[in-house]
Amino acid sequence: MLLKKLVEIESPTGSEHEIKDFVRDFLESKGYSVVEGQYFISTKSKSELIVSTHLDTTPVKAPFSTDGVYAYGTGVCDAKASVAAILEAAERGVDFTIAFFCDEEEGGKGSKEFAEKWSYGSMAVVMEPTDLKIASRHYGNLDLTVEVKGVQSHGSYPEMGVNAIEKAFEMISELKKHFKVTPLKIAGGSDDYVIPDYCMVKLDVLIEPETKLEEALKEIEFLSNYGKYEVSNAYEGFISKEVAGFLERAMRAAGLEVEHTVMPSWTDALNLKDRYDVVVWGPGELHLCHTVRERVRLADVEKARDVLLKLSEMFK
């Protein structure tokens, strides 16, 4: 099973060399000319369509296994099911450009390098787990770190101080009135019997596809009332255009029902959106990814492969 081979080549971010070699050898053995960048590998093609996914995974939490219906294990869904679907389609012959990226789980260096260096194409399908629904709306996002300031007082006199932890909870509640927010890390207080005067919170903030990044940054300026804040990895979202229609037709031609969804997570599509008309789509359930419960339906890998073959027919 190709998927099993791919998952058993461990490729946590920063250690993609072995799987990159495997993909290159596989493509070349099927007659494709291959182009390699420092953080990406692609077929040599001038097609208007690019089909891509990433090779790296989070650190391994579970080994590969299968019960005949699902495959399980770290990376099986995010995104080696998509790698397998692309390679299985390539084995049968495709005319679109294939691109595989490194570093998606960290800084997105592969898709960034590809967007800067690749001269061809106008549309891209970025394969990520969407349960085979078309993610034609993609949230933007930003990483937010807030250092909330308070005032110390004896632990038995909370009214004489300002509890930075309580203030952080208040800040998060206020932020949630404006955005979809996920607290990822919180640190503050001590073992001393004292009202804490410091609390650090790290948050993931999602920005609606229709909202401009400049507007979102303006909306969070109130955070200065709580302390010092820092924004990093800020990206504007997008809405797919013509490429979503091609994918719809390919799905129908492969006998699949068409359903649309939204992509709430950062993906390589955010590095490609200024260069291409992009859509996100692929097998697997995103909510299980990065966990020990990660899984993918084996039948959905085959369905994805068949859709890619139909998509290729449109770009001959």
Number of domains making up the chain: 2
Q: Last residue of some domain: 219, 235, 251?
A: 235
The CA distance from 247 to 282, in Å, is: 11
- What is the reported pLDDT for 265? 94
* pLDDT tens digits in sequence order for the chain, 316 residues long: 999 999 999 999 999 999 999 999 999 999 999 999 999 999 999 999 999 999 999 999 999 999 999 999 999 999 999 999 999 999 999 999 999 999 999 989 999 999 999 999 999 999 999 999 999 999 999 999 999 999 999 999 999 999 999 999 999 999 999 999 999 999 999 999 999 999 999 999 999 999 999 999 999 999 999 999 999 999 999 999 999 999 999 999 999 999 999 999 999 999 999 999 999 999 999 999 999 999 999 999 999 999 999 999 998 8
What's the CATH code of the domain at 82?
A: 3.40.630.10
Instruction: Examine the domain organization and report whether 8 and 111 are in the same domain.
Output: yes
Query: Quick one: pLDDT at residue 316?
Result: 81
Token pair 């060399």 is found at 17
Dihedral-angle region of residue 309 (phi above 0 means left; psi in -120 to 50 means alpha; beta otherwise): alpha
User: Could you give the CA distance from residue 82 to residue 126 in angstroms, rounded to a whole number?
Assistant: 9
Q: Do 119 and 241 lie in a common domain?
A: yes
DSSP β-ladder status, 295-297 and 70-72: antiparallel
Whether residue 190 is found in the same domain as residue 241 = no
Q: Answer yes or no: are the C-beta atoms of 77 and 280 closer than 8 Å.
A: no
Q: Among 204, 235, 266, identify where a domain stops.
A: 235
Q: Are residues 145 and 133 located together in one domain of the fold?
A: no
Question: pTM to 2 decimals?
Answer: 0.91
Alpha carbon dihedral 150, 151, 157, 160, in 10-degree steps, equals -110
- Statement to judge: residues 95 and 33 lie in one domain: yes
Domain hosting residue 256, numbered range = 2-139+237-313
Phi first, then psi, for residue 202 (nearest 5°) are: -110, 130
The pLDDT value given to residue 222: 96
